[in-house]
A and B are shown apart, each in its own frame.
Chain A
Amino acid sequence: MHNRSFFRIFMQTGAWLILAFLLLPMLVVIPVSLTDKSYISLPQDGLSMQHYTNYFTSAEWLWATGTSLFIGVGVALCATVLGTAFAIGCWFLSDRMSTIARWILITPILVPPVVQSLGFYRFWVQLGLIDTYTGVILAHTLLALPYVSISVFAALANLDRRIPQAARSLGASVWTTVISVVVPAAKPGMMAGAIFAFIVSFDEIVGVLFITVRNVQTLPKMIWQGIQDNIDPTIAAVATVLTVITLVLMAVGALRKS
């Protein structure tokens, strides 16, 4: 009995330590965001909301947030439309070539982001897309496509092949069949894919650093520059706001499921 309880304590302590290791760096931004100093530090003489005020009143920060949201939504739309079309096409064909095509499409996940960003940079220069919204949306769409197509593939895996056949035999054209019976089946995957695509884009920095200069300022890039140029605690406030929004969304999702 003694040995067993020792083992239990050891395991539990270990588990909690690992959790703390994972969570504390994230949580440390909360006290930092409340500091009363004008540089990154823990609160000394008291708590202050000034950095939150700064975030919500700074045109630059708000513009960057808006830019990231705009790009994220654009990417979610483009990637969902293209990724769904790709997945549905492959599902209909489901031959050797379509399997190869599926593998090629998920390479963006496998290639190191720096290598890919370099590729974007070289190519975007030639296309004149450097430092444009179109350029960023296009690059992020390419990065997000695999997530959308994978989740749509997963949704279509449950679709009985005889269902689109039934629609065809009942007189529906290929297009009507896709819209009326295949897309509804793909919908859960499309929703999940769109959310993934938005997150991929909202979070992305390496590509943005390579292909934008001044004109396009996204939130991750702004945070990055904030660390580089000045050590403004507003960054911590932004990070806290994002963390809280994420937690709220997750809680809502969990409640809706249960």
Chain B
Amino acid sequence: MSNSVLSVRNAVKRYGPVRALDDVSLEIGDGEFLTLLGPSGSGKTTLLTAIAGFTELDSGSLSLRGTDITGQTPDKRNFGMVFQGYALFPNMTVAGNIAFPLKVRKWNSSDINTRVAECLALVQMEKYADRLPSQLSGGQQQRVALARALSFRPSVLLLDEPLSALDKKLRADLQWELKDLHRQLGVTFIYVTHDQDEALSMSDRIVILKDGSIQQIGGPGELYNAPRTPFVADFLGKSNFIEAEVTGGAPGAVQCAAGGESFTVASAAAPATGSRRKLALRPERVRIGAPGAEAFTGQVRQLSYLGERAHVIVTHPGLGEILVSCPTWKAGITPEPGLGVSFGWDSDACVFLEDA
């Protein structure tokens, strides 16, 4: 990345026999919204706390705009951080909390007052300046934590699952606000979450971690549409997996066979003929229709109505169970358990996965 603000090189952190970070290298661009996404134990929080300076790396280095900060203590790094559970100072008012980093930096009191007012306005908390954190709701505390972490104009803001303690509706609202704030301020956001929807909706780029190593890095659309490994395909959204044999073809139209059926995969790279590869197929890319309307014939096993969409499990004697997600308003047929249907997909719907 040309305008990298922060780089992580070969970071390793062990806890006993467990490698929480296993040779992680990452470039974070200036002003980007980068999400570290993974299940618990994937190393995402370890990576964030290593960037913040709370976790000492066993090996590897961190640098901020070319300057090595590996050995620097957290207070010298000048990164804002929003903690899970907010970590507001209970003995200080809202204004006191926001003023804390400014007082530590020995700003004069009129500058502090101006800046605190600015930050309160930024998160729409002007009315609550004199409240104690214990007198605020979860969402309000979250805003104060955000204002506090931004008050000293850090170049990088680290967020550790900041929305995880909030209810679903509030979380959605705050996602929009965080995104607006990011665009408005131009600060680099490094955001840790285990929630794939949060990651997809907010990020410029997502880093998917598993067992302490990076699985794939990319934009939300890129990761969703072109997952490289079964883990990524399964962790971000739902996927059908098909074990297929490559029977021929060329880049752009690879012939595959699986479960006694053959089909074409529009893949830019053509795997060797005769090799066995795993394919990922998104449920919403599968079409379902009356018998004969689509390429393959199957039977509906189960149906789950979700409001805007319905999930249908179709069984096929060779391919096994295929999950189909179709819009409920134009299903064309009413799938019922036991009903014979046909199903199929476009040639660009399947993605070749690496064996991992």
Q: Which residues of A contact B67 (CB under 8 A)?
A: none
Query: A166 CA to B85 CA in the complex, in Å?
Result: 11
Name which residue of chain A comes closest to B52, CB basis.
A169
A163 adjacent to chain B (CB < 8 Å): yes
Interface residue stretch chosen among A4-12, A78-86, A178-186, A233-241: A178-186
Q: Does B149 interact with chain A (Cβ within 8 Å)?
A: yes
Whether B85 lies near A169 (C-beta < 8 A) is no
Interface flags, B146-159, vs A, CB<8A=1, else 0: 00110010000010
Quick one: which of A164-210 are within 8 Å of B by CB? 165-173, 176, 180-181, 184-185
A171 CB contact (under 8 Å) in B85, B88, B152, B158: B152
Q: Which residues of A have CB within 8 Å of B89?
A: 163, 166-167, 180-181
Residues of A within 8 A of B158 (CB): 169
> What 1/0 mask marks residues of chain B from 44 to 82 whose CB sits below 8 Å from any chain A CB?
000000001110000000000000000001110111110
* Inter-subunit contact A168/B75 (CB<8 Å): yes
Does the CB pair B104–A169 fall under 8 Å? Answer: no
Interface: B91 (CB within 8 A): yes
Please determine whether A162 and B91 come into contact, CB atoms closer than 8 angstroms: no
Cβ-based interface call for A160 (8 A) = yes
Choose among A169, A171, A173 the residue with the greatest number of B CB atoms under 10 Å from its CB.
A169
Q: Is the CB of B87 within 8 A of A162?
A: yes
Instruction: Name the A residues within 8 Å of B73 (CB-CB).
Output: 168
Q: A145–B54 Cα gap in the complex (Å)?
A: 31
Chain A hits for B80, CB < 8 A: 169-170
Q: Please tell me which one of the listed residues B53, B87, B149, B152 contacts residue A163 in the complex, with CB atoms under 8 A apart.
A: B87
Number of B residues contacting the other chain (C-beta, 8 Å)?
Answer: 27
Instruction: Check B78 against A171 for contact (C-beta < 8 Å).
Output: yes
- Establish whether residues B87 and A166, one from each chain, have CB atoms under 8 Å apart when the complex forms: yes
A171 to B74, CA, bound (A): 7
B220 proximal to A (CB < 8 A): no
Q: How far is the CB of B193 from chain A (nearest CB, A)?
A: 17
For the complex, what is the distance from the CA of A176 to the CA of B101, rounded to whole Å? 11
**Distance (whole angstroms) from the CB of B157 to the closest CB of chain A:** 10
Q: Is B84 touching A162 in the complex (CB atoms < 8 A)?
A: yes
Q: Is B169 an interface residue (CB 8 A)?
A: no
Complex Cα distance, B80 from A160, in Å, reads 18
Interface string of B72-116 (1 = CB under 8 A from A): 011101111101110111110000000011001100000000000
Q: Closest CB of chain A to B116's CB: distance in Å?
A: 13
- Does the CB pair B104–A176 fall under 8 Å? yes
Q: A160-B85, A165-B74, A165-B83 are contacts. A170–B91 as well, Cβ < 8 Å? A: no
CB-CB under 8 A from A166, the residues of chain B are 81, 83, 87-89, 148
Distance in angstroms between the alpha carbons of A242 and B80 in the assembled complex: 55
CA of A119 to CA of B158 in the docked complex: distance in angstroms? 55
List residues of chain B with CB within 8 A of the CB of A168. 53-54, 73-75
The chain A residue sitting closest to B73, CB to CB, is A168
- With a cutoff of 8 Å between Cβ atoms, the chain A residues found around residue B152 in the complex are 170-171
The reply to whether A162 and B85 contact each other, CB–CB distance below 8 Å, is yes
Find chain B residues with CB under 8 A from A171 CB. Answer: 75, 78, 101, 104-105, 152
What are the residues of chain B within 8 A of A181 when measuring CB–CB?
89, 91
Contacts of A180 in B (CB 8 A): 89, 100
Complex-state Cα separation, A7 to B154, whole angstroms:
73
A185 adjacent to B83 (CB under 8 Å) = no
Closest to A183 in B: B91
Flag if A169 contacts B81 (CB, 8 Å).
yes
Name, among B77, B87, B88, the residue most crowded by chain A CB atoms within 10 Å (CB to CB). B87
List chain B residues, Cβ under 8 A from A172. Answer: 75, 100-101, 104
Q: Write out, one digit per residue, whether chain A residues 209-227 have a CB within 8 A of any chain B CB (1) or not (0).
A: 0000000000000000000
- Complex formed: what's the CA distance from A163 to B85 in Å? 10
CA distance A165 to B86 in the complex (A): 11
**Whole-angstrom CA separation of A173 from B74 in the bound complex:** 9
Q: Which A residues are in CB contact (< 8 Å) with B78?
A: 171
Interface pair A162/B83, CB less than 8 Å apart: yes
B83 and A170 within 8 A (CB): no
Closest to A187 in B: B91
Contact partners of B148 in chain A: CB under 8 A: 166, 170
The interface residues of chain A lying within 8 Å CB-to-CB of B88 are 163, 166
How distant is B237 from chain A, measured CB to nearest CB, in Å? Answer: 32
B247 vs chain A, min Cβ distance (A): 56
Residues of chain B within 8 A (CB-CB) of A185 are: 90-91
Complex partner residue of B100 from A160, A162, A165, A167, CB under 8 angstroms: A167
Interface residues of A in 87-116 (CB under 8 A from B): none
Contact A173 B75 (CB under 8 A): yes
Chain B residues packing against A (C-beta within 8 Å) = 52-54, 73-75, 77-81, 83-85, 87-91, 100-101, 104-105, 148-149, 152, 158
What are 30 contact pairs spanning A and B, CB under 8 A? Answer: A160-B85, A162-B84, A163-B89, A163-B90, A165-B52, A165-B54, A165-B74, A165-B81, A165-B83, A166-B88, A166-B148, A167-B100, A168-B53, A168-B54, A168-B74, A168-B75, A169-B75, A169-B79, A170-B81, A170-B101, A170-B104, A170-B148, A171-B104, A171-B105, A172-B75, A172-B104, A173-B75, A176-B104, A180-B100, A181-B91
A: which residues have CB within 8 A of B? 160, 162-163, 165-173, 176, 180-181, 184-185
Task: Please give 13 more A-B residue pairs, beta carbons under 8 A apart, in addition to A169-B54, A170-B104, A172-B104.
Answer: A162-B85, A162-B87, A165-B87, A166-B81, A166-B83, A168-B74, A169-B52, A169-B74, A170-B75, A171-B101, A171-B152, A173-B75, A181-B89
Which are the 8 A-B pairs with shortest beta-carbon distances? A170-B101, A162-B87, A166-B87, A169-B81, A184-B91, A168-B74, A171-B104, A162-B83
